[in-house]
Amino acid sequence: PCCTADNFRVDLNDTPASAWNTSASHVFAASFRDAHPGCGRSLKAIFDAWIVHFNYLRQVYAKQQMVAREEQARISNLARRERKLQLYNRRLRMAHRHSGPYPSAVNVVQQLGPAGMSSDESEHEVGHGERTYHITGKAWRSTTVTATLRVLDALHLGMRYQQQWNATAGAWPHLRMPSSQLSSREPPSGLPKNFY
């Protein structure tokens, strides 16, 4: 047998007819008959009743898994939006701080807004070192605008160091690496022509 009555295990990702689950069903039926000898049911009737219940358990498990996946997707979307908002605010602060040498940078960041910031995705599991985020590029955005945003990112990182390369306090921006992945979202309308 695949398991015992004391260490009973089924595979809810597989069908009742799988080798493991069939063996577990026989273990259940024999254990139930031994525990309830006066139930008046044959071993086959107990086995068949267990199969019906097992299918119900699989349905419940599938629903729970679907809800968990939907919740994880919702959390991921919220985290992605929050990262985009933080990126927008950080770039806007740098654009204001360096508006002398880069007078158009404030306008670029403000017109793009948080929605105009590139998304990023991590393929990294939580708790396994520093996360690296791969930038999802915007095919519609001009290289000049993208270059302006990258300069603002570099200025922000440079500002995080004081004299003699001593880092300032606070959380570091997450590591964003270019990737070949492009966003499938439509470009926002109403931006200046040179943004496209």
Residue type at 17 in one-letter notation: A
For the chain, percent of residues with pLDDT exceeding 70:
94
Sequential DSSP letters for 31-86: HHHHH-GGG---HHHHHHHHHHHHHHHHHHHHHHHHHHHHHHHHHHHHHHHHHHHH
| Distance separating alpha carbons of residues 4 and 2, to the nearest angstrom | 7
Helices (H), the chain: 19-35, 43-97, 105-112, 143-159
Pick the more confident residue, 75 or 168. 75
| Distance separating alpha carbons of residues 154 and 78, to the nearest angstrom | 26
Pick the more confident residue, 48 or 118. 48
Confidence of residue 187 (pLDDT cuts 50, 70, 90): confident
68-80 average pLDDT score: 93
Q: What was the pLDDT predicted at 10?
A: 96
Q: What is the mean pLDDT of the chain?
A: 89
- Copy the structure tokens of residue 129: 């070192």
Q: What is the pLDDT of residues 11-58, one digit of tens each?
A: 999 999 999 999 999 999 999 999 999 999 999 999 999 999 999 999
| pTM metric for this prediction | 0.67
| Distance separating alpha carbons of residues 156 and 66, to the nearest angstrom | 40
Pick the more confident residue, 95 or 122. 95
Q: Do 132 and 120 form a contact (C-beta atoms < 8 A)?
A: no
Q: Do 16 and 54 form a contact (C-beta atoms < 8 A)?
A: yes
Q: What was the pLDDT predicted at 102?
A: 83
